[in-house]
Amino acid sequence: MNWEVVIGIETHVQLRTQSKIFSGSSIAFGAEPNVQANAVDIALPGVLPVLNREAVVCAIKFGLAVGATIAPRSVFARKNYFYPDLPKGYQISQFEVPVVAGGGLNIRVGEQEKFVHLTRAHLEEDAGKSLHEDFHGRSGIDLNRAGTPLLEIVTEPDMRSSAEAVAYARALHALVQWIGICDGNMQEGSFRCDANVSVRRAGEPLGTRREIKNLNSFRFMQQAIDYEVQWQINEISEGRAIRQATVLFDPDSGETRAMRSKEDAHDYRYFPDPDLLPLEIGADWIAEVKAGMPELPQAMQARLQTEYGLSAYDAAILTASRAMADYFVAAVAAAGAANAKAVANWVINDVRRSMVDGLRDEGGEPVASAVRGDAPGRDVIRVPAEALALLILRIAEGVISNASGKKVFVEMWSTSDSEVDAIIKRMDLTQVSDASALEAVIDGILAANQKSVEEFRAGKEKAFNALVGQAMKATKGKANPQQVNDLLKKKLGA
């Protein structure tokens, strides 16, 4: 039986403002409970919400970045439900006329590219937090988070696998950070995804969906969707119908579990909020925001290909995050455009791999001493771009071999020392290019490896490589491999 998986994603992106969306309270993370909850946030009678201009700017930036329509006039609505961390009894959101409509994102799974369509993105306020433990049978309410500005971004049901869902979430996560509207901190809840999942047999109409709430890591998203898909297929295969429900993912058991079924689902009774007037966004404002936006990843990807001759794959990796792209640009600026390809290789193979998998030595083995006391530094680039550029220049100039360059890189990454020339000197890596010194080494090797010499003369090419290897070993990798090749060929009369 061929099953098709259908996934749509809703993401709550916390906007990177100083103050709340409708009040002048701070949104700084980690404050003492309720010290950032003022009269508007705790819903005292007689207060009036006033919209934060910067939150609107963030929405405009997002709309521009995904090629969406920015509504010239949008409306705030009350979403009514009863919960103590929502003291007004309603959340201010947008319903019929959201600020952003349409647009989409390119995602990549392996070599496959796909365009995920967005339905809409709307501005809303976050709720507070409920703490259910330790208050002798009562719940504790912290309203610091109440009123934090959110942009809720909703996709069409365009994704067909957990891998595509994760690729979308990652692409969106990178984009909102790239354009500077979100800090992307998933641990602190700045980027939270809900996945709507259904399955159907090929060619049939859409199945009933279940919504997996509050996925705050990409790994959990993948696990939760995979589990949910299998569960739904099993249910249908055994003749049971799927009932629409909200489910939670339990990372410990790896299972999804229903929270509430549709029967007692909320009826939000949306209506336009009389406290807020329609939000008007003129073409001049949009143009002003656009002028201040950075080059977008897609455009930069194309530019890196044409400007430096990089492959589409390399350009995509380098523009996967703003930090990586900025690093590459700074390193190319220091090393010169002529070395751009080498910089790309170093950034992708060494810098990126060290960040993702941990530091490896020149032979690809993990370096145990790389982590010294501090965090593994997944998102910290421990070699400054200028230092990497200088290292690449020293290799290009022939001062050190490529193999020695890897050693210098490992040293810099693991010690945070970025004095390239001093490290080369200290580690005694300067390339031996003095012909007479090298000739003496090669003479010694030829004398000591008569067997390889005879094999080579008998026509075995491999024997030649063995001799090159011996020479490199004898010079501790400091010989210029090309020079060794030339000298050996000369001596062997090849």
Residues at the interface with other proteins (CB under 8 A): 17-19, 23-26, 32-39, 42, 44, 50-56, 73, 75, 80-84, 89, 97, 130-132, 135, 137-143, 259-260, 266-267, 269, 272, 274, 276-280
Tell me whether residue 131 or residue 371 sits nearer to other proteins (CB atom). Answer: 131
The distance of closest approach from Cβ of residue 92 to other proteins in the complex, given in angstroms and rounded to an integer, is: 12
Q: Is there a contact between 192 and 214 (Cβ–Cβ < 8 Å)? A: yes
Residue 138 identity: R
Report the 10 Å Cβ neighbour count for 99. 27
Tell me whether residue 62 or residue 346 sits nearer to other proteins (CB atom). Answer: 62
Tell me whether residue 88 or residue 406 sits nearer to other proteins (CB atom). Answer: 88
Tell me whether residue 87 or residue 377 sits nearer to other proteins (CB atom). Answer: 87
Of 11, 5, 12, the C-alpha closest to 242 is 5
Hey, what are 50's tokens? 């006033």
Tell me whether residue 41 or residue 314 sits nearer to other proteins (CB atom). Answer: 41
> CA torsion sign, 94 to 99 to 104 to 107?
negative
Tell me whether residue 180 or residue 377 sits nearer to other proteins (CB atom). Answer: 180
Helix (H, G, I), strand (E, B) or coil at 264: helix
The distance of closest approach from Cβ of residue 140 to other proteins in the complex, given in angstroms and rounded to an integer, is: 3
The distance of closest approach from Cβ of residue 141 to other proteins in the complex, given in angstroms and rounded to an integer, is: 4
Tell me whether residue 83 or residue 313 sits nearer to other proteins (CB atom). Answer: 83
Tell me whether residue 75 or residue 105 sits nearer to other proteins (CB atom). Answer: 75
Tell me whether residue 124 or residue 314 sits nearer to other proteins (CB atom). Answer: 124
Tokens 């790994």 sit on residue: 219
The distance of closest approach from Cβ of residue 33 to other proteins in the complex, given in angstroms and rounded to an integer, is: 4
Report the 10 Å Cβ neighbour count for 80. 16
Contacts of 38-44 spanning 24+ positions with Cβ under 8 A: 40/147, 41/87, 41/143, 41/146, 41/147, 42/87, 42/143, 42/146, 43/87, 43/88, 43/89
CA 28 to chain CA mean position, Å: 23
Tokens 């771009």 sit on residue: 385
Q: Is there a contact between 407 and 362 (Cβ–Cβ < 8 Å)? A: yes
The distance of closest approach from Cβ of residue 300 to other proteins in the complex, given in angstroms and rounded to an integer, is: 28
Residues whose CB is less than 8 angstroms from the CB of residue 292 and which lie 6 or more positions away in sequence, other chains included: none
Contacts of 42-51 spanning 24+ positions with Cβ under 8 A: 42/87, 42/143, 42/146, 43/87, 43/88, 43/89, 48/275, 49/21, 49/22, 49/23, 49/92, 49/273, 49/275, 49/276, 50/22, 50/23, 51/21, 51/22, 51/76, 51/276, 51/279
The distance of closest approach from Cβ of residue 248 to other proteins in the complex, given in angstroms and rounded to an integer, is: 9
The distance of closest approach from Cβ of residue 86 to other proteins in the complex, given in angstroms and rounded to an integer, is: 11
d(CA 128, CA 217) in angstroms, rounded, equals 21
Give 395-422 as a DSSP string: HHTTSS-HHHHHHHHHHHHHH----HHH
The distance of closest approach from Cβ of residue 187 to other proteins in the complex, given in angstroms and rounded to an integer, is: 22
User: Phi and psi of 479, rounded to 5°?
Assistant: -75, 150
The distance of closest approach from Cβ of residue 142 to other proteins in the complex, given in angstroms and rounded to an integer, is: 6
Tell me whether residue 241 or residue 283 sits nearer to other proteins (CB atom). Answer: 283
The distance of closest approach from Cβ of residue 138 to other proteins in the complex, given in angstroms and rounded to an integer, is: 4
